């Protein structure tokens, strides 16, 4: 029997992946990793001849990349080898023998209230521009209602970018003010939103009355579904107009989480709302909130202020 090559294993894993109806974003990430690894190998060896040393050398050759990206590569290859072991294509899970790259701890930098108000104020008009012989001018933007609904929903729920892009109109329950999102691992969760966010979504949808409930909730000017890259570029442009630096989806997620805890929400509910499988990230948010409390106590302490 002919040995199964690496490329053949990838083809089989693709069929397995789609049969399980897993996330398209995860599929894209995994198969980007597989393609990079095959380019690194330089040929198409039998998969049972690939060793842990090959995996280590591949990761070591990516020293220009962040550890978070290297961890994603490790995760993708590990998923492939888990399937190969199950299908008895290989006898050993070589990726498990390679240490997982430890990602750098990203800085948690939430938006301030003023940041958000400035962003919302920048939605209606384009940047000021000059034409020869004319006064300064701006354009009225037709996307203002859509972008306001997006920003408020991100801020109000902490939803991930991929989850927001996958929302359909019927995933939004305006009566009960809830959205149904499909998170990592195809885990569904229900996220509440407030009346102001609901009003912003309603105002945006009012301009799309002919659309089906099975259409995407947020669409581009060309009526195409959003993707993560379009969303990132859109928010970046709004940030530049507003003069707010580092505008992105994850900062809205951080802002939601920290304010949830500051305003009395419990960490276990927050974990469920964010769709985290562990408490690791929630603990980081708790540390930030505790630092806030310590700072505020110093400002408010009568013993300290009265020099008793």
- Check 208, 250, 262, 284 and give the catalytic one: 250
Whole-angstrom distance, CA of residue 280 vs CA of residue 275:
12
SS3 state at 218: coil
Q: How many other C-beta atoms are found inside a 10 Å radius of the C-beta of residue 301?
A: 11
Task: Give the integer Cα–Cα distance in Å for 92 and 142.
Answer: 57
Identify whether 160 is a catalytic site residue.
Answer: yes
Whether 253 is catalytic is yes
Active site residue 20: no
DSSP class of 42: -
Residue closest to 87 by CA, chosen among 5, 9, 200: 9
Q: Which of these is catalytic: 184, 189, 203, 232?
A: 184
184 is known as an active-site residue: yes
- Catalytic residue list contains 125: no
From 146, 160, 241, 251, active-site residue: 160
The sign of the CA dihedral 245, 248, 254, 256 is positive
What's the rounded Cα separation, in Å, for the pair 26 and 306? 58
Q: Where are the alpha helices (DSSP H) in 112-160?
A: 113-121, 144-157
Point out the catalytic residue in the list 13, 111, 204, 285: 285
Residues in contact with 73: Cβ distance below 8 Å, sequence separation at least 6, in sequence order: 33, 36, 37, 58, 59, 62
Catalytic, 276? Answer yes
Q: What residues are labeled active site? A: 160, 184, 250, 253, 276, 285
């Amino acid at each position: 029997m002919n040995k199964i090559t690496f490329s053949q294993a990838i083809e089989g894993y693709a069929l397995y992946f789609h049969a399980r109806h897993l996330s398209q974003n995860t599929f894209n990430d995994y198969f980007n990793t597989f393609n990079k690894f095959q380019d690194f190998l330089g040929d198409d060896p039998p998969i049972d001849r690939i060793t842990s040393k090959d995996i280590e050398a591949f990761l070591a050759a990516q020293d220009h990349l962040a550890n978070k990206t290297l961890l994603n590569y490790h995760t993708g290859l590990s998923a492939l080898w888990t399937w190969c072991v199950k299908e008895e294509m290989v006898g050993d899970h070589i990726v498990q023998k390679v240490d997982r790259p430890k990602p750098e701890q990203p800085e948690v930098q939430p938006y301030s209230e003023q940041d958000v108000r400035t962003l919302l104020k920048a939605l209606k008009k384009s940047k000021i521009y000059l034409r020869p012989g004319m006064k300064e001018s701006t354009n009225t933007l037709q996307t203002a209602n859509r972008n306001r609904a997006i920003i408020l929903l991100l801020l109000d729920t902490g939803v991930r970018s991929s989850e927001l892009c996958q929302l359909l109109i019927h995933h939004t329950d305006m009566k009960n003010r809830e959205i149904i999102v499909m998170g990592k691992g195809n885990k569904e969760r229900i996220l509440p939103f407030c009346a102001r966010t609901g009003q912003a979504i309603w105002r945006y949808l009012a301009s799309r009355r002919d659309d089906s409930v099975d259409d995407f909730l947020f669409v581009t000017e060309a009526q195409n579904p959003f993707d993560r890259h379009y969303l990132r570029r859109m928010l970046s442009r709004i940030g530049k107009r507003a003069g707010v630096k580092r505008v992105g989806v994850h900062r809205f997620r951080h802002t939601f989480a920290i304010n949830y805890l500051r305003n009395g929400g419990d960490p276990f509910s927050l974990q469920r709302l964010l769709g985290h499988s562990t408490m690791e990230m929630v603990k980081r948010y708790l540390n930030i909130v505790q630092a806030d409390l310590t700072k505020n106590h110093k400002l408010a302490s009568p013993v300290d202020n009265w020099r008793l």
